Amino acid sequence: MTQIEEIRREDSDKVDGGIKTIFHTLLQSDLPAIEKESRRLAEEAVLLVGAGTHTTSWCLTVIAFHLLANPTLLKQLKEELKSVHPNPNSRPSLQELERLPFLTGVLKEGLRLGYGATGRSARIAPDASLKCGNWVIPPGTPVSLTIPLTHHDETIFPNPEAFLPDRWILEDSSRLDKYLVSFSKGSRVCVGMNLAWAELYLCIAGVFSRFGCGDVQDASDVGMLKLYETDETDVVMASDMFFPVPRDGSKGVRVKVTTK
């Protein structure tokens, strides 16, 4: 609230040489006055931080844990990355990374077990009845499910608690993609989805093409990563606070970094 008020008082022409934040733009827009109130804009700021930062960073955390906890997966990923990153001084493009099947499987498993948001988002079919098992849901009835319920459905994802990137390669990925709902679906799909995908590809490739773990390392690696006082309970959802939260007392995923 304080930061919003400070922005409201600023002369927009003197802000960082004319570079403005999204809130400068909103305040100067033709939105109704009620949409420009400080409390309303503060709520927007929380949404931007949560949806635009926390969700992606949590999925990256989940992926990093499973790769460091499973040397076989990490070795397979590093070998695939070398196919587009043979020179340690080069940087593969996003388009090149998007064509790597195992990396894509790793990211999809991270999204499946990282969820994104876990709060219930209601949907309404205004004109049609919906059938769920033996139940008929009348038109106009709000219906909501959490993402974890879908991502842990054993009929869709066998052994759902396990981090298995190969499930996206060996099975019909197009069928499974239908049930990967981290970004929601339809007209309300996440507007930042493409940015999030780019962040996942570039961050995971950038880190694990340069760092090894244990016996999984290349001569070109600049250092080593090792899990420190961390186990799977630090990435398993214990409670739903709109975002997944691990067990009480968890200090998060901690890693020791050594460099050459």
CATH number at residue 52: 1.10.630.10
pLDDT tens across 116-160, in order? 989 887 889 999 999 988 999 999 999 988 899 999 999 999 999
pLDDT for the residue 19: 57
* Residue ranges making up the domain that contains 60: 37-259
Question: Does residue 32 fall inside a structural domain?
Answer: no
Predicted TM-score (pTM) of the model is 0.86
> 16 lies in a domain?
no
Average pLDDT estimate for 16-45:
85
Is residue 251 domain-resident?
yes
Which pLDDT does position 95 carry in this prediction?
A: 96
Write the pLDDT tens digit of every residue in 49-99. 888 899 999 999 999 999 999 999 999 999 999 999 887 777 899 999 999
11 pLDDT band, cuts 50/70/90, is low
Q: Is residue 50 part of a domain?
A: yes
Q: Domain for residue 248, yes or no?
A: yes
Q: What distance in Å separates the CA atoms of residue 98 and residue 45, rounded to the nearest whole number?
A: 31
Within a domain: residue 195? yes
pLDDT of 201: 98
Total domains present in the chain: 1
Region 182-199: what's the mean pLDDT?
A: 91
The reply to whether 71 falls in a domain is: yes
Q: Is residue 108 in a domain?
A: yes
